[in-house]
Structure 1
Amino acid sequence: MTRPTDPPNILVLMVDQLNGTLFPDGPADFLHAPHLKALAQRSVRFANTYTASPLCAPARASFMSGQLPSRTRVYDNAAEFTSDIPTYAHHLRRAGYHTALSGKMHFVGPDQLHGFEERLTTDIYPADFGWTPDYTKPGERIDWWYHNLGSVTGAGVAEITNQLEYDDEVAYHAARKLYDLARGHDARPWCLTVSFTHPHDPYVARKRFWDLYEDCPALDPIVPPIPFEEQDPHAQRLMLASDQAASHVTDEDVRRSRRAYFANISYVDEKIGELLDVLERCRLSENTIVIFVSDHGDMLGERGLWFKMNFLEGSARVPLMIAAPGLPAARVERAASTLDVLPTLAELVGLDLASVMPWTDGESLVGPARGEGARSPVPMEYAAEGSYAPLVALRDGPWKLILCDLDPPILTNLDEDPQELVNRAQDPACAPVMAEMTAAMTARWDLARFDAEVRASQARRHVVYEALRNGAYYPWDFQPLQQASERYMRNHMDLNVLEDGQRFPRGE
Structure 2
Amino acid sequence: MELPTSMELEDSDSSVIHIEQIEIKKPESSLPKTETSKTQVTRLNVLFLVSDDLRPQLESYKGIDYPNSGSKLNMYTPNLDRLAKKSLQMDKAYVQFSVCCPSRASYMTSRRPDTTQVWDLTTFWREAGGNFTTIPQYFKERGYRTAGFGKIYHPGKGGGNNDVPMSWTEPYYHEPNGLFYQVINNSWWAVPEELSAAKPLHDEGITTAAIELLEELAPEARYGKQPFFVAIGFQKPHIPFVFPERYLVHYPLMTVDLAPNPYAPVDFPTIAWFHIEGSNYDDIKATGKTGITLNETLPDDAAMLYRRAYFSCISFVDDMVGRLLKALDNLELTENTIVTFIGDHGFHLGENGMWGKHTNMEQATHAPLMIHVPGRTSSGMRSKSIAEFVDLFPTIVEAAGLDPIPPCPESSRDVHACTEGRSFVHLFGDSERAFKDFAFSQISRGTVMGYAVRDAHYRYVEWVPTSQNVVNDNECVRTLDWQHLVGRELYDHLTDPEENKNIAEDNTYEDVVSRLKMALRKIIKSRFEVKC
Question: TM-score if structure 2 supplies the norm length?
Answer: 0.73
1:164/1:393 CA distance change after superposition, 3 Å? farther
Structure 1: gaps of 5 or more residues: 125-149, 461-508
2:421 to 350, 355, 362: 362
Q: Which residue does 1:117 correspond to in 2?
A: 169
The Cα offsets for residues 143-178 of structure 1, whole Å up to 9 and x where unpaired, read as xxxxxxx98x744523469x9732222112111111
Distance (Å, rounded) in 2 between the aligned partners of 1:415 and 1:21: 20
In structure 1, the partner of 2:145 is: 98
Identity rate of aligned residues, in percent?
27
Give the gaps of 5 or more residues in structure 2.
1-36, 67-72, 177-183, 280-289, 413-418, 465-484
Aligned to 1:350: 401
Instruction: Note closer, same or farther for the CA distance 1:179–1:241 as it changes in structure 2 (3 Å cut).
Output: closer
1:187-213: CA deviation from partner (whole Å, max 9, x where unpaired): 321111111010111134321001210
SS of match in other structure, 1:440: helix
Aligned match for 1:12, one of 43, 48, 51 = 48
Following superposition of structure 1 onto structure 2, how do residues 84-95 of structure 1 map, counting pairs within 5 Å?
84-95=131-142
1:382 maps to which residue?
A: 443
Equivalent residue letter for 2:518: A
1:4 and 1:25, CA in 2 relative to 1: closer, same or farther beyond 3 A?
farther
Structure 1 position 396, deviation (Å): 1.9
Rounded Cα–Cα distance in structure 1 between residues aligned with 2:347 and 2:135: 26
Report how far residue 22 of structure 1 moved.
4.6
Q: Which residue of 1 is the match for residue 362 of structure 2?
A: 313
Give CA deviations for 1:262-303 in whole Å, capped at 9, x if unaligned: 111111111111111111000000111111101011101112
Deviations 1:314-346 (A, max 9, x none): 111100111112235111001111111101012
Q: Secondary structure at the match of 2:236?
A: strand
1:477 paired residue number: none
Cα distance, 1:21 vs. partner?
A: 5.3
Contact in 2 for aligned 1:382/1:390 (Cα 8 Å): yes
Q: Which runs of structure 2 are paired with 1:64-463 in the superposition (5 Å)?
A: 64-82=108-126, 84-104=131-151, 105-106=153-154, 108=158, 109=160, 111-122=163-174, 154-159=187-192, 165-184=201-220, 187-214=225-252, 217-226=255-264, 231-238=268-275, 243-244=290-291, 249-325=298-374, 326-327=376-377, 328-353=379-404, 355=406, 357-358=408-409, 359=412, 360-371=419-430, 372-383=433-444, 386-405=445-464, 406-447=485-526, 449=527, 453=530
Higher strand fraction (1 or 2): 2
Letter in 2 for 1:395: R
Higher RCO structure (Cα 8 Å, ≥6 apart): 1
Answer yes or no: is the 8 Å Cα contact 2:187–2:239 preserved in 1.
no
Corresponding residue number in structure 1 for 2:472:
none
Deviation at 1:48, TM superposition (A): 0.9
Query: Which structure has more helix as a fraction of its residues?
Result: 1
Aligned-partner Cα distance in 1 for 2:505–2:272: 19
Shift in Å at residue 398 of structure 1? 1.6
SS at match of 1:380: strand
* Structure 1 position 233, deviation (Å): 1.8
Q: What residue identity is the alignment partner of 1:193?
A: A
Change in 2 beyond 3 A, CA 1:262/1:200: same
For the 8 Å contact 1:155–1:253, the answer to whether it is kept is: no
| 1:310/1:248 CA distance change after superposition, 3 Å | closer
How many equivalent pairs are there? Answer: 423
Structure 2 residue aligned with 1:464 = none
Change (3 A) 1:59 1:182: same
Residue 347 of structure 1 deviates from its aligned partner by 1.2
- Report if the CA contact (8 A) 2:394-2:405 is conserved: no
Structure 2 CA distance for partners of 1:4 and 1:402, relative to 1, 3 Å: farther
Q: Distance in 2 between matches of 1:419 and 1:24?
A: 20
CA distance, structure 2, for counterparts of residue 178 and residue 26 of structure 1: 32
Instruction: Give how far 1:241 is off.
Output: 11
Asked if structure 1 preserves the Cα contact closer than 8 Å seen for 2:59 and 2:76, the reply is no
